[in-house]
């Protein structure tokens, strides 16, 4: 496994190497989308609106716990890939041990802080008197399981960082399959409702974490979870958090942006909210493919940044071409059959027209979104902490004033177009920073801007 991973890092043709890292990531993230749909479906069979409301209300909490796992995981993962490029394998062991134990402790801190404040958290999530009990049940289980959930997302990142992309994918898919099976059992057999669904999520993460830990302990030459390798030096903390913190902030900003956007759409009625909800679900599929591509190549970019910068340039160039090709394909499909796509969810003519319009507008920024994600990945992989931090906040910082101005000037159309404008600003800022940093990253990067 390790020799094979190094082969893809060092010697495999760039297209094959990108596919090795990106395809498993794409498949793993796609499975998570399927799970989220099935999760709601299983609860929906109980015909209890308050349970479904509780599931929706707790999404921000799960997103924050996941973001904490990515804080340690992405920060440690990119550092591990760079260290492997420099062949500093002892340092890799120190970082992987740090990632394992620090993420578990971080989860314990979340549990210790959250449980005494559980009523305030549930109210803060927006629970009403009808959904309060169910929401509290879900939040209680998630807080108690937060050490496992944080650990799962951390381990997935560091396993992928050493080149074991297939193992990472297997772990993500295993988590989804176990979750779906347990959902069916706890709902239809044991009748545990919301508590069962939350428990299924934690247990599935535990099973996948066990797989990752087994891989690290038994199959990985480079990683370790042994406590004897644990170190929390200034160098490790600096390299982990200068990339991990922007990743965390980006996750928080994305959640906040979604809430703010919904606030503006509500002004134009339920149909506007429903149309955006449908179009955003359809947009998720190509977005997750592009996200999987861009996040999947981060370990390869990080490794080649320290080992072979010409190969890094070729990797980035090939990824850009792939983003263009995918954006053209998905964009063409949308413009040809957008009405049919919205019609899968509703037969309301006005809703179909409104949803189709939103699809047309938002798909304009698909290429821009892909490139912005790639820019962020490049900055993360090459330890450009300041640039990564700017990318993590620029879209949110831009969207809020643009929403106010566009809504005032053009109403509903302005709200929809504000998303494209915010994406375009983030793209321009990212491209500018990449141009400024081109010599620091590598001289050959200049050719990418020509």
43 and 221 in contact (C-beta within 8 Å)? no
402-282-348 Cα angle (round to 5): 90
Q: b/e per residue, 109-124, with b = 16+ CB within 10 A?
A: ebbeebeeeeeebbee
**Tokens 């890092």, located at residue:** 9
The reported pTM is 0.83
- Token code pair at residue 220: 């990985």
**How many C-alpha atoms does 392 have within 13 Å on its Cβ side?**
22
- 268: exposed, middle or buried (C-beta count within 10 Å: 0-12, 13-18, 19+)? middle
- Report yes or no: 293 and 72 within 8 Å, Cβ to Cβ: no
- Burial level of 409, CB count in 10 A (0-12/13-18/19+)? exposed
> What does the alpha-carbon distance between residue 244 and residue 193 come to, in Å, rounded to a whole number?
35
pLDDT value at position 4?
Answer: 64
Beta strands, E only, 12-84: none
Q: Which residue has the tokens 């090709």?
A: 325
Provide the b/e sequence for 430-440 (b: ≥16 CB within 10 Å): beebbeebbee
In the chain, the largest separation of any two C-alpha atoms, in whole Å, equals 64
pLDDT, tens digit (0-9, with 9 covering 90-100), for 353-409: 888 888 888 888 888 989 999 999 999 999 898 998 898 888 778 888 999 999 999
Helices within 86-145 (DSSP H only) = 89-114, 118-124, 132-144
CA distance 319 to 429: 19
Output phi, psi for 58, to 5 deg.
-85, 0
Tens of pLDDT, residue by residue over 85-117, are 999 999 999 999 999 999 999 999 999 999 999
The reported pLDDT for the residue numbered 179 is 92
pLDDT above 90 covers a percentage of the chain that reads 52
pLDDT at 447: 42
Q: Which residues of the chain have pLDDT under 70?
A: 1-5, 37, 255, 258-259, 270, 345, 442-450
Residue 116: the pLDDT is 97
pLDDT at 9: 92
Q: Which helix (H) or strand (E) holds 53?
A: helix 49-57
DSSP 3-state of 387: helix
The C-alpha angle with vertex 79 and arms to 73 and 85, in degrees rounded to 5, equals 135
The tokens for 222 are: 């480079």
Rg (CA), the chain: 22
Locate 281 and state its tokens: 């679900």
């Amino acid at each position: 496994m390790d020799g094979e991973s190094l082969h893809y890092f060092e010697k495999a043709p760039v297209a094959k190497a990108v596919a090795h890292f990106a395809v498993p990531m794409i498949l793993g993230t796609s499975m998570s989308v399927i799970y989220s749909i099935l999760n709601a479906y299983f609860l929906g069979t109980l015909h209890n609106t308050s349970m479904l409301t509780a599931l929706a209300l707790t999404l921000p909490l799960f997103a924050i716990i996941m973001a904490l796992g990515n804080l340690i995981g992405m920060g440690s993962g990119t550092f591990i890939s760079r260290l492997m490029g420099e062949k500093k394998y002892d340092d890799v062991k120190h970082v992987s041990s740090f990632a394992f134990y620090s993420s578990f402790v971080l989860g314990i801190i979340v549990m210790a802080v959250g449980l005494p404040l559980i009523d305030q958290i549930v109210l803060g999530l927006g629970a009403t008197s009808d959904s309060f009990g169910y929401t509290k049940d879900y939040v209680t289980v998630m807080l108690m399981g937060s050490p496992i959930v944080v650990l799962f997302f951390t381990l997935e990142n560091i396993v992928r960082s050493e080149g074991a992309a297939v193992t990472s994918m297997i772990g993500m898919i295993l988590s989804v399959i176990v979750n779906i099976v347990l959902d069916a059992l706890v709902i239809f057999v044991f009748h545990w409702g919301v508590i069962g669904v939350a428990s299924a999520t934690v247990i599935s993460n535990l099973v996948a974490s066990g797989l990752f830990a087994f891989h690290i302990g038994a199959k990985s030459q480079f990683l370790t979870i042994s406590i004897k390798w644990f170190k929390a030096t200034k160098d490790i903390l600096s390299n982990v958090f200068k990339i991990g913190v922007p990743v965390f902030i980006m996750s928080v900003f994305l959640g906040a942006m979604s809430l703010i956007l919904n606030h503006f759409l509500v002004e134009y009625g339920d149909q506007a909210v429903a149309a955006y909800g449908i179009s955003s679900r359809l947009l998720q599929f190509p977005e997750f493919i592009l996200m999987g591509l861009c996040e999947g190549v981060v370990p390869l970019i990080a490794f080649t940044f320290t080992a072979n910068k010409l190969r890094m340039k070729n990797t980035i160039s090939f990824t850009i071409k792939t983003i263009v090709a995918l954006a053209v394909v998905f964009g063409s499909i949308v413009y040809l059959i957008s009405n049919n796509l919205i019609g899968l969810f509703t037969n309301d003519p006005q809703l179909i027209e409104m949803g189709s319009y939103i699809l047309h507008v938002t798909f304009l920024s698909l290429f821009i979104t892909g490139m912005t994600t790639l820019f962020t990945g490049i900055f993360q992989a090459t330890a450009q902490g300041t640039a990564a931090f700017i990318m993590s906040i620029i879209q949110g910082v831009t969207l809020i004033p643009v929403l106010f101005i566009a809504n005032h000037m053009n109403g509903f159309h302005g709200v929809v177009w504000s998303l494209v404008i915010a994406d375009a600003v983030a793209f321009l800022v990212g491209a500018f920073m990449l141009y400024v940093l081109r010599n620091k990253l590598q001289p050959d990067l200049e050719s990418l801007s020509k």
